[in-house]
Chains A and B, each alone.
Chain A
Amino acid sequence: MRSKRDQSFVFWLFLAPVLFAFLMVLVIPFLLGVYYSFTSWSSDARDLSGLHFRGISNYVDSLKDPSFLYSFLITSGYTLVNMVVINVVSFGLALLVTSKMKGRNFFRAGFFVPNLIGGLILGYVWQFIFNSAIPELGTFLGIKAWADPNNLMLAKSYPALVAIVIAGTWQYAGYIMMIYVAAIENVPVELHEAAQIDGAGPFRRLIAITLPMASQAFTITLFLTLVNSFKQFDVNISLTAGGPSTIFMGKPIFGTELLAMNIYNTAFRSDNLAEGQARAVIFFVVLALIATMQVYANKKREIEL
């Protein structure tokens, strides 16, 4: 009897700190956030007394705003391209560092290191590379297109988005590579040997053995790259800061403002907390939907294989 009471006491005692943090940081702000998105919440009317209910007008205004629609479009495009590029590069790197090459461990570590550098810091490094190093390199190598100041990648919207993909790939590829490495090394050697005896070449073995055996890794890597690309903020801030400007639906807007940054700017730069919050809710719903759909589709594919 004593031990049972003791057990229940220790249970709540041990859980109390995390439950407290959970409520304070996630549950209460989440509920407040959903509520605020239907109100006139602003920096002037912060306390509950000044709020009045506005229905879904924050959502309607968001969906009518060209800058939000544009952010949505480029974020979708960016996410798609980023997913493909990172996964292709990472899988290539993984094949390379699991082959019988010399110094594989050295290369693994080398490709992994950029992942330890925060997105904010590496964005500045790449800003310097695109604005100063590439033109200089162009002059040095005699590549006119690189040396021409009109061709700076960060000067036009779409090239600047590609620049974010490059910086993001540099940061993330080594990490995804490691997940593929673990999967490839888990493939039994006997399978490859048997296939080799049957006359299968390296490419055939890649298609018929390595890829299917690594299918669980694909579920993880696609999920991770999808979610992380969709949430991209740090590199966006430091590499392009949303610029350069462009015209969309007849309105001048930021040309590389991804969704996370659009949410932030709506709330603070345009001083419209309620609408920023409504956009954050939309962001959450879309993210949750695509993530669930993707995991579901991948699980199904895994079973079929």
Chain B
Amino acid sequence: MKRNRDNGLFLLLIGLLLFVVFFFPFWMVLINSAKGPFEITNDPLALPTNWGELFGNIAKIWTSPNIQYQSSFFSSIIITAGSLLLLNVLSAQAAWALVRTHSRSSTLIFTAFVAAMVIPFQIVMFPLLSWFRTVTDFTGIRLLRSFQGILLAYVGFGMSQSIFMFHGFIKSIPLELEEAATIDGCSRAEIFWRIVFPILKPIQATVLVLNGIWIWNDYLLPLLVLGKGNEIMTIPLAISNFAGAYVKQWDLIMTAILMAMVPVVIFFLIAQKSIIKGMVAGSIK
């Protein structure tokens, strides 16, 4: 009995020690966001002398024309929310059409989508740019450096996995439900919107979480599709522009990073369970 309790204490100590190690980078960001340029170089480990500086730094980042944090923040929200909305709706309806239609084309299309999951971004990224440019030349619709272009890109790169996850879930929904609705006079489209789509809620949560975290943090795709020095930037782009400059203002970089982390961490605290569940479910695709 005694040995058991000692064991528990020992494990708790190890856990706490590891937690301190894991938490250390966050702690560094937090305390150094409340320092000035001299304080941060002289004493990066100490607590800030004046926590009020944190708000001063936040105000500087939020309004600085060099960083364009404000507009990047809203662009990031538009891009993430827009892509999520499109991915969720379009993948769900596509997956349903693929599950409920038994034909050669439906099998072929599904196989093609699944196969596309192994394609790394690197092999398509350069030709994507020249192809987008060609399309713009012919149609006049701007795809590079524009919202519609990056939304299209995210739908294209996110759809395979999303469809795959919806596909698996829809297969488990009994067909009787939809047959009953057909007898009641519902059209195919109505069946999807009124009956199937609401049932998909749990898997929608998974798809939203997986894609949301990916798109919000993504760097390479926005770097290529939106480009540097564009009016439209995402937060990772804005931070890399600012932090990649020759003179590193670490105090302000840390504040910008803190501001980028806080929304994600708040979101995590609110929806912790579905985030963890969603991300683990997404791995077992």
Contact = CB atoms under 8 A, between A and B. Distances in A.
A269 interface: no
A32 B123 contact: no
Contact of B109 (A19, A33, A276, A287): A19
Contacts of B192: 10, 14
B66 interface: no
Summarize B's interface: helix, strand, loop or mixed: helix
27 contacts: A13-B189, A17-B94, A18-B94, A21-B156, A22-B116, A22-B160, A24-B131, A29-B125, A30-B119, A33-B126, A96-B15, A101-B12, A101-B15, A102-B8, A108-B276, A113-B268, A118-B218, A120-B236, A120-B239, A121-B236, A125-B254, A128-B254, A132-B44, A136-B44, A179-B284, A267-B126, A276-B126
Given A25-B156, A121-B261, 14 more contacts: A11-B97, A26-B156, A100-B8, A118-B216, A119-B217, A170-B22, A175-B283, A179-B284, A233-B220, A238-B243, A267-B126, A280-B126, A284-B122, A284-B123
B231 interface: no
Nearest to B45: A136
B226 interface: no
Given A32-B130, A96-B14, A110-B19, A128 B219 contact: no
Given A113-B265, A284-B120, A237 B280 contact: no
Contact of B131 (A21, A22, A32): A32
A28 B131 contact: yes
Contacts of B253: 124, 128
A288 B123 CA distance: 12
Interface in B82-133: 86, 90-91, 93-94, 96-98, 101, 106, 109, 112-113, 116, 118-128, 130-131, 133
A254 to B, nearest CB: 16
B8 A36 contact: no
B172 interface: no
Interface in A170-198: 170, 174-175, 178-179, 182
Interface string A132-160: 11001100100000000000000000000
Nearest to A267: B126
Contacts of B189: 10, 13
A211 interface: no
A117 B264 contact: yes
A111 B155 CA distance: 30
A116 B265 contact: yes
Given A30-B119, A114-B25, A170-B25, A21 B43 contact: no
Chain B interface size, as a band, is: 35 or more
Interface in A218-268: 220-221, 224, 231, 233-234, 237-238, 241, 260, 263-264, 267
A204 B250 CA distance: 50
A21 B159 contact: yes
Interface of B: 8, 11-12, 14-15, 18-19, 22-26, 28-29, 32, 40-41, 43-45, 86, 90-91, 93-94, 96-98, 101, 106, 109, 112-113, 116, 118-128, 130-131, 133-135, 152-153, 155-157, 159-160, 163, 182, 187-189, 192, 213, 216-220, 236, 239-240, 243-244, 250, 253-254, 257, 260-261, 264-265, 267-268, 272, 275-276, 279-280, 283-284
Contact of A116 (B182, B213, B218): B213
Interface of A: 3, 6-8, 10-11, 13-15, 17-19, 21-22, 24-26, 28-30, 32-33, 36, 46-47, 93, 96-97, 99-103, 107-122, 124-126, 128-129, 132-133, 136-137, 140, 170, 174-175, 178-179, 182, 220-221, 224, 231, 233-234, 237-238, 241, 260, 263-264, 267, 273, 276-277, 280-281, 283-284, 287-288, 291
Given A14-B94, A118-B219, A133-B45, A96 B11 contact: yes
Nearest to A111: B22
A239 B186 CA distance: 56
B124 A26 contact: yes
A136 B43 contact: yes
